[in-house]
Chains A and B, each alone.
Chain A
Amino acid sequence: MTRCRVLFLALVVAVVGLLGLVACGRTTPVSGLARIRAAGVIKWGGDIQGGEPYVYGDPKSPDRLIGFEVEIADAIARELGVRAEFVQNDWANLVPSLERGSFDIVMNGLEVTEARVGRVRFTRPYCVFTERLMARAGNASIAPDLLALRGKKVGTLANSLAFEMLRGTATPVVYDGVEEPYLDLVNGRTDAVLLDDIIATRYGAPRPELQVVGDLREGYYAIAVRPSDPDLAAAIDDAIGAIAARGELRRILERSHLWNDRQDRLIGWTAADQTRMLGAPRSPPPIERGHVMLFLRGAGVTLLVSTLAMALAIPLGLLLSLARLHGGPVLARLAGAYVEIYRGTPVLLQLYLLYYGLAPVLKLGALPAAVIGLGMNYAAYEAEVYRAGIQAVPKAQIESALALGMSTRLALRRVVLPQALRHAIPNVTNDFIALLKDSSLVSVITVVELTKQMTITAVDVRSWIGPGLLCAGLYFAMSYPLGRIARRLEKKLEGEREAEAAT
Chain B
Amino acid sequence: MIVVDNVEKAFESRVVLDGVSVRFDRGKVSALVGPSGGGKSTLLRCINGLERFDAGRIEVDGLVLGPSKTDRPSRADRATLRAIRLKAGMVFQHYGLFSHMSALENVMEAPIHVRGVAPAVARERAKLLLAQVGLPHRRNAFPRELSGGEQQRVAIARALAMDPEALLLDEPTSALDPERKAEVVGVLRDLAKQGATMIIVTHEAAVVREIADHAICLRDGKVVAAGSPSEVL
* In the complex, chain A residues whose CB is within 8 Å of the CB of B95: 396
Q: What is the interface of chain A, defined by CB distance below 8 A to chain B?
A: 394, 396-397, 399-407, 410, 414-415, 418-419, 422, 496, 499-500, 502-503
A400 touches B98 (CB 8 A): yes
CB distance from A325 to the nearest CB of B (A): 14
Given contacts A399-B96, A405-B162, A499-B144, 20 further A-B contacts (CB under 8 A): A394-B94, A399-B50, A399-B92, A400-B90, A403-B50, A404-B110, A404-B114, A405-B85, A405-B86, A405-B114, A405-B115, A406-B113, A407-B78, A407-B82, A410-B114, A414-B109, A500-B143, A502-B144, A503-B144, A503-B147
- B97 and A406 form a contact (CB under 8 A): no
Q: Tell whether B145 is near chain A: CB-to-CB under 8 Å.
A: yes
The docked-state distance in angstroms from the alpha carbon of A406 to that of B148 is 24
> In the assembled complex, how far is the CB of residue A279 from the closest CB belonging to chain B, in whole angstroms?
70
Contact B96 A396 (CB under 8 A): yes
Quick check: is B157 within 8 A (CB to CB) of the other chain?
Answer: no
**Alpha-carbon separation in the docked complex, A401 to B48 (Å):** 12
Cα(A465)–Cα(B217), bound, Å: 81
Question: Known contacts A403-B85, A405-B110, A406-B110; is A397 also within 8 Å of B50 by CB?
Answer: no
Across-interface contacts of B146 in A (CB, < 8 A): 503
A397-B147 in contact (CB<8A): no
- Asked if B151 is an interface residue, CB under 8 A from chain A, the answer is yes
Q: Please name 7 pairs of A and B residues whose Cβ atoms are closer than 8 Å in the assembled complex, sorted by A.
A: A394-B99, A396-B95, A400-B97, A404-B162, A407-B78, A419-B98, A419-B99
CB-based closest 3 A-B pairs: A400-B96, A396-B96, A403-B90
- Residue ID in chain B nearest A396 by CB atoms: B96
Q: List the A side residues contacting B97 at CB < 8 Å.
A: 397, 400
Shortest distance between the CB of A287 and any CB in chain B (Å): 50
- Chain B residue at minimum C-beta to C-beta distance from A495: B144
Once the chains are docked, how many angstroms separate the CA of A335 from the CA of B100? Answer: 28
Residues of the A chain whose Cβ atoms lie less than 8 Å from the Cβ of B90: 399-400, 403
Q: Are B50 and A418 in contact (CB under 8 A)?
A: no
The answer, among A396, A397, A414, A499, for a CB contact under 8 Å with B113, is: A414
With A410-B114, A503-B147 known as contacts, the answer to whether A402 contacts B50 (CB < 8 A) is yes
Identity of the chain A residue whose Cβ is nearest the Cβ of B168 in the assembled complex = A403
Cβ contact within 8 Å between A406 and B155: no
B82 A405 Cβ-Cβ under 8 A: yes
The answer to whether B85 touches A402, judged by C-beta atoms less than 8 angstroms apart, is yes
Q: In the assembled complex, how far is the CB of residue A70 from the closest CB belonging to chain B, in whole angstroms? A: 66
Q: Which residue of A lies closest to B147 (CB)?
A: A503
Dominant SS among interface residues on chain A: helix
B158 part of interface (Cβ distance < 8 Å): yes
A232 to B105, CA, bound (A): 82
Interface size of B in residues (CB-CB distance below 8 Å): 32
Pick from A402, A405, A422 the residue with the most CB of B within 10 Å.
Answer: A405
A400 touching B114, Cβ below 8 Å: no
* Distance (whole angstroms) from the CB of B30 to the closest CB of chain A: 18
Chain A residues contacting B151 (CB-CB under 8 Å) are 503
Any A CB within 8 A of the CB of B159: yes
Q: Which residues on B sit within 8 Å (CB–CB) of A418?
A: 100
CA distance A407 to B77 in the complex (A): 12
Kindly list chain B residues whose C-beta atoms are within 8 Å of the C-beta of A502: 144
- Whether a CB of chain A sits under 8 angstroms from the CB of B89 is yes
- Considering the complex, which residues of chain B in the window 17-61 have a beta carbon less than 8 Å from any beta carbon of chain A? 48, 50
- Cα A401 to Cα B100 in complex, Å, equals 13
Shortest CB-to-CB span from B26 to chain A, Å, is 20
Give A488 Cβ to nearest chain B Cβ, in Å.
18
The residue of chain A having its C-beta at the shortest distance from the C-beta of B95 within the complex is A396
Which of A414, A418, A503 has the most chain B CB atoms inside 10 A of its CB?
Answer: A503
Q: Nearest chain B CB to A405's CB is how many angstroms away?
A: 4
A419 to B110, Cβ gap below 8 A? no
Q: How far is the CA of A318 from the CA of B78 in the complex (A)?
A: 26
Collect the chain B residues with CB atoms within 8 Å of residue A503's CB.
Answer: 143-144, 146-148, 151
- A225 CB to closest chain B CB (Å) equals 68
Query: Closest A-chain residue to B155, C-beta based?
Result: A400
Chain B residues with CB under 8 Å of A496's CB are: 99, 144
- Pick from B96, B147, B148: contact of A394, CB under 8 Å: B96
Give B183 Cβ to nearest chain A Cβ, in Å: 14
| Residues on the B chain within 8 Å of A397, using CB | 96-99
In whole angstroms, what is the CA distance A433 to B87 when docked? 50
Measured between alpha carbons, how far is A502 from B146 in the docked complex, in Å? Answer: 10
Return chain A residues, CB-CB under 8 Å to B50. 399, 402-403
> How far is B94's CA from A403's CA once the two chains are assembled, in angstroms?
14
Of all chain B residues, the one with the shortest Cβ separation from A395 is: B96
Across the interface, do A410 and B113 meet the contact criterion of CB distance under 8 Å? yes
- In the complex, the answer to whether A400 meets B100 with C-beta atoms within 8 Å is no
B201 to chain A, nearest CB (A): 14
CB distance from B57 to the nearest CB of A (A): 20
With a CB–CB cut-off of 8 A, which chain A residues contact B162?
Answer: 404-405
Mark B167-196 against chain A: 1 for CB-CB distance below 8 A, else 0.
000000000000000000000000000000
Chain B nearest CB from A209 CB (Å) reads 55
Nearest neighbor of B50 in chain A, beta-carbon distance: A399
User: A403 contacts B89, CB within 8 Å?
Assistant: yes
Taking each of A400, A418, A422, A503, which has the highest tally of chain B beta carbons within 10 Å of its own beta carbon?
A400
User: Which of A402, A405, A415, A422 meets B98, CB within 8 Å?
Assistant: A415
| In the complex, residue of chain B having the shortest beta-carbon distance to the beta carbon of A421 | B100
Give Cα A403 to B91, complex, Å: 9
- Inter-chain CA distance A410–B113, complex, in Å, is 8
The chain B residue with its CB closest to the CB of A413 is B113
Q: How far is the CB of A77 from chain B (nearest CB, A)?
A: 72
What are the residues of chain A within 8 A of B89 when measuring CB–CB? Answer: 403-404
Q: In this complex, which of B78, B109, B147 has the most chain A Cβ atoms within 10 angstroms of its Cβ?
A: B109
